[in-house]
Structure 1
Amino acid sequence: MKAVHGLSNKISVNENNLIKESYPYVNKYLDRINEIKVYEQLSNMKNDFIIIPYKWEFKNNKMISVTNFYQSAITLHDTDICVNKMKSIIKIISKIHNLELLDVKTFNPKEFSEFFIKNTKKCLFDLYFIKNKVDLIITNYWSDNSKPVFSHNDLVKGNFINFKKGWKVIDFEYGMYNHYLFDYASFVSESLNKKRWNVFLNLLNLSSSELNKINDLILFQNYLWIYWASYMFEQTNEQVFIDIAKEKFENLK
């Protein structure tokens, strides 16, 4: 794995172990108890498309997890995301959605977005022009009466690694039940250049109503992650969060 870094956790590598230690300001919006429930259940499932920690503990307001570290692995940061890779990722997302977990929470878009809005002194970009539309998306989030599916919810390039037998997904911090189109929207928003969005969306063979829904979820996520980046910038003063917010804002245009 060519680079090891984290935005939400302190990450270190000790021999063949990758150790993550959470920051307290991240614990305020991530449900670590829910995360542990996810790890406990995933660890008892046999599959070849996800990697989770083999050790974890939440103590003294700090989440510490230990995962096997694969030195030779690459992430999507290290390669072009061609159509074949997109097809592989679609299959992986579908497999994740078919996992059945018990007593795991369901994503609440209003509650989650309001945390960052209320706990950010000033958003890095003025989002007033899109606020009413986002509010409507949140209001109508479950209006299609779709059944929530277990979802990853944070499909950035760094959460896909490839070694030995193909692509796998890591980092289920945000894992919970969600709308079945959220993960696909997450991959579009988080991992694809805007010029490639339609290539990926065409591979999903969505109906017109589904296409409208996924575009709403893409917009919502760009809006959400701008506020997330603003919150994280105020906590850390790190330039990377300004860069993330700028990228997401460009996606809104």
Structure 2
Amino acid sequence: MKAISGLSNKIKVQKNDLIKESYSYVNKYLDRVNEIKIYEQLNDLNLSNFIFPYTWTYTNDELISKTHYFENAITLHDTDICKNKMKVVIKLIDEIHTLNLVGIKQFEPENFLNFFVNNTIKCLFDLSIYKEQINEIIKNYWNDSVKAVFSHNDLVKGNFINFKKGWKVIDFEYAMYNHYLFDYASFISESLNKKRWPVFIEMLNLSSQELLKLKDLITYQNYLWIYWASYMFEQTQENIFIEIAKEKYENMQKEINVR
């Protein structure tokens, strides 16, 4: 049995399985029933580019899932994210967005953020100067009248793995229907060095209106994950969450200078 670190779940490897056991304080903001609906439908599809649990149990508000474990897999943490890898990421995101799942929740930016605002004693950083801006972003979240698409919503480097047969996406526990630009914003803010942002954004070939929306979603996500990290730090007292909040706060400061 091998222990592996996890921020939202207790994770271990046993034989050829990666086993996740959910934490109670994470279950308070993740909809595990919605997550199971996603796994049920994904398992009915012939998908080669996504890795998700093949079995699970949900009892007493605890989700335990098993996913095939690939011992020699690498993640985007282990390699340089060059232009070719960016193209692969865009292709994977586009493939996620084409999935047609039924009965899956739609992301509610205000409600999701408010959970962390209302359940955090003290945010790790003072975000008061951004509150009005975030409220405006939330107010105009769907103002372009786009149709929501199935989205991953958590495209950190560790959620891209490669094990001989190309890059694949894992960990769909945050997945819901969402704005089509949210996943691109997630990858930019979570996985890319800021110097690489212009390269990736240019590859998206966005209109001026789409570019403004993308920047708004990046700002929203940085704000959201600072509150998330603050909540998680209070629950665990693990310094990794201070580091995450600091990185997002630095991104917020950079963004305000860009505008």
Shorter-chain TM-score range: over 0.9
Query: Which amino acid is the alignment partner of residue 8 of structure 1?
Result: S
* Partner residue in 2 for 1:26: 26
2:210 maps to 210
**Alpha-carbon distance between aligned partners in 2 of 1:200 and 1:242, rounded to the nearest angstrom:** 28
Normalised TM-score (structure 1): 0.98
* Structure 2 gaps, min length 5: 254-259
1:140-155 mapped onto 2 (5 Å cutoff): 140-155=140-155
Distance 1:142 1:25 in 2: 30
Report the secondary structure of 2:49's partner residue: coil
Q: What do the CA deviations read for 1:44-100 (whole angstroms, capped 9, x no partner)?
A: 111211011111111111110000000111000110111100000000000000000
> In the alignment, what sits opposite 2:134?
134
Partner of 1:87: 87
Q: Hey, what does 2:172 align to over in structure 1?
A: 172
After TM superposition, the structure 1 = structure 2 runs for residues 31-70 of structure 1, keeping only pairs within 5 Å, are 31-70=31-70
Q: Which residue is equivalent to 2:257? A: none
Offset from partner CA, 1:112-131 (integer Å, 9 cap, x none): 00000000000000001111
CA distance in structure 2 between the aligned counterparts of 1:48 and 1:5, rounded to whole angstroms: 25
**Partner amino acid, structure 2, of 1:129:** I
Query: Which residue matches 1:229?
Result: 229
For the aligned residue pairs, the C-alpha RMSD in angstroms reads 0.8
Q: Which amino acid aligns with 2:252?
A: L
Q: Which amino acid aligns with 1:33?
A: V
What is the SS of the residue equivalent to 1:110?
helix
Query: After TM superposition, which residue ranges in structure 1, 4 or more long, deviate above 6 angstroms?
Result: none
Q: Secondary structure at the match of 1:13?
A: strand
AA aligned to 1:132 is E
User: Given residue 183 of structure 1, which amino acid in structure 2 is its aligned partner?
Assistant: D
Any stretches of 5+ residues in structure 1 without a counterpart? none
Q: Is 1:158 aligned to residue 158 of structure 2?
A: yes
Shift in Å, 1:171: 0.5
TM-score, normalised by the number of residues in structure 2? 0.96
Deviations 1:120-160 (A, max 9, x none): 00000000111100100000000000000000000000000
Aligned residues: 251
Partner of 2:97: 97
